[in-house]
């Protein structure tokens, strides 16, 4: 599976996203992505392998989103502190 952190990814439907952060949670890899054309379109997606190809599927489970949101926020804040 490709490591997509800090990458500009292009999906099969033509949409492009910046992968701001990636993290692993319970053996799955999740990405925080930002739409290139619509800046307010931010999502948390899970990386999956289908037919041998990497697919990004939006996470919809509210409990999981809360957990991942917390983890991403901590990671980004930590990184911002280091930059500053």
Q: Which tokens sit at 56? A: 């990004």
Q: What is the closest distance, in whole angstroms, from the C-beta atom of residue 65 to another protein in the complex?
A: 5
How many chain residues are in contact with another protein, going by CB under 8 A? 49
Q: Binding of another protein at residue 30 (CB under 8 A)?
A: no
Q: Binding of another protein at residue 49 (CB under 8 A)?
A: yes
Chain Cα centroid distance, residue 48: 12
Q: Binding of another protein at residue 61 (CB under 8 A)?
A: no
Contact 19, 35 (CB under 8 A): no
Any residues with CB less than 8 A from the CB of 57 and at least 6 apart, and which?
45, 46, 48
Q: Binding of another protein at residue 80 (CB under 8 A)?
A: yes
Phi first, then psi, for residue 29 (nearest 5°) are: -105, 130
Residues that bind another protein in the complex, under the rule CB under 8 A? 1-4, 6-13, 18-20, 24, 27-29, 32, 34, 39-40, 42, 44-45, 47-58, 65-66, 68-70, 72-73, 76, 79-80, 83
């Amino acid at each position: 599976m490709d490591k997509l952190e800090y990458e500009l990814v292009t999906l099969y439907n033509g949409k492009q996203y910046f992968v701001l952060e990636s993290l692993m949670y319970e053996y799955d890899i999740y990405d925080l992505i930002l739409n290139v054309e619509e800046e307010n379109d931010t999502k948390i997606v899970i990386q999956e392998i289908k037919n041998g190809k990497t697919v990004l599927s939006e996470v919809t489970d509210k409990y999981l989103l809360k957990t991942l949101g917390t983890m991403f926020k901590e990671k980004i804040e930590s990184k911002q502190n280091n930059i500053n």
